[in-house]
Amino acid sequence: SAQDVDEVLWIADNHNVTITTFGDMMRVPGSKESLYQAQGRGVDVQVIYGISDAIKLAEENPEKEFLFFSVGFETTSCVTAAEVIRTKLPNFSIYASHKLIPPAMELLMQRDDLEFQGFLAPGHVSTIIGAKPYDFIPEKYNFPVAVAGFEPVDILLGIYALLKQFNENTSRVDNMYKRYVRHEGNVAALKTLEEAYVVADARWRGLGVWPNTGHEIADKYSHIDAKKKYEIPELETTDLHSGCICDEILVGKSKPHQCKLFNKACRPDHPIGACMVSHEGTCNVAATYEEIIWED
């Protein structure tokens, strides 16, 4: 959410901390500015390829403070978790903005303003958590799920599995990404997640705080938790730029071309909302492949 970007920038501004993060995060909008814009006014923001780069920077520059801005779902947060447990550097901390997929799916199902008939469960996350955490969806909600990979043929297989369940008037979890996803998941990775984090409420951009949909660093590792190391005041934040409907797009309620800023003021080379930033963002994909998507 914008609040995460705002808080990280507040830490940088008030404690002279170098921010390290992945390139994708640079243009994600905060309430007033992105990390990229803040870099332009002199904030030290360094793009890294992995948390180990951030730790190396902290080791090589003991006189400076470093913060790793860790954002993502179970796949990303798992790598960070290993360092939460292992790293003990006085000049290094982690700001965790980690989200959980299965409880977020459940909250979507509980909304009666959304129309969807099945879930394509994400392949990368499922390599960590497995297919098992989705079992409650057909059992409790009678809703079809297919775990799918990312190659075009994987997506087609996932859609095929959902349509098959739909036609058979049944619901189950079909694992169509068996070459990487096991039912039980990656047990060692799951143990690492459980050790490093506690389940907590999480802020979703434009959607507010959703209960039990995030991971925060566990109290026993508070020495590395930037949210505990720095006393961050309550900041006034704005999640969505005026006119941006990312909140509706994220839950499938609207399509990108229904936003009046789409491909006009908001473009891949000039993103205004978060959905336009990364190559995986819905608006970015729609803008990049617009002719293919909207062709009749």
Residues that bind ligand SF4 (CB under 6 A): 244-246, 249, 256, 259, 261-262, 266, 272-273, 275-276, 283
Q: Looking at this protein, which amino acid is placed at residue 267?
A: R
CA distance 268 to 283: 8
Residue owning tokens 């992945």: 22
Q: What's the min distance (Å) between Cβ of 87 and ligand SF4?
A: 35
CA distance 82 to 84: 6
Q: What's the min distance (Å) between Cβ of 27 and ligand SF4?
A: 11
Q: What's the min distance (Å) between Cβ of 168 and ligand SF4?
A: 36
CA distance 223 to 94: 10
Name the nearest CA neighbour of 7 among 134, 93, 109, 129: 93
CA distance 66 to 83: 14
In this chain, which residue has its C-beta nearest to ligand SF4?
A: 273
Closer to ligand SF4 by CB, 75 or 278: give it.
Answer: 278
Closer to ligand SF4 by CB, 176 or 244: give it.
Answer: 244
Q: What's the min distance (Å) between Cβ of 244 and ligand SF4?
A: 3
Residue owning tokens 């780069």: 53
Task: For CA atoms 262, 264, 266, 268, give the dihedral sign.
Answer: positive
* 154 CB-near residues (< 8 Å, 6+ apart): 123, 148, 176, 177
Distances from the Cα of 264 to the Cαs of 215, 248, 270, in angstroms?
A: 36, 19, 9
Q: What's the min distance (Å) between Cβ of 32 and ligand SF4?
A: 16
Q: What's the min distance (Å) between Cβ of 95 and ligand SF4?
A: 23
Closer to ligand SF4 by CB, 27 or 183: give it.
Answer: 27
What are 147's strand-pairing partners? Answer: 121, 175
Closer to ligand SF4 by CB, 81 or 246: give it.
Answer: 246
Task: Indicate the Cα dihedral angle 32, 37, 42, 48, nearest 10°.
Answer: 120
Closer to ligand SF4 by CB, 156 or 293: give it.
Answer: 293
Closer to ligand SF4 by CB, 138 or 273: give it.
Answer: 273
Q: What's the min distance (Å) between Cβ of 28 and ligand SF4?
A: 11
Closer to ligand SF4 by CB, 53 or 290: give it.
Answer: 290
Distances from the Cα of 2 to the Cαs of 30, 237, 241, 254, 260, in angstroms?
A: 4, 7, 10, 21, 21
SS3 129: helix
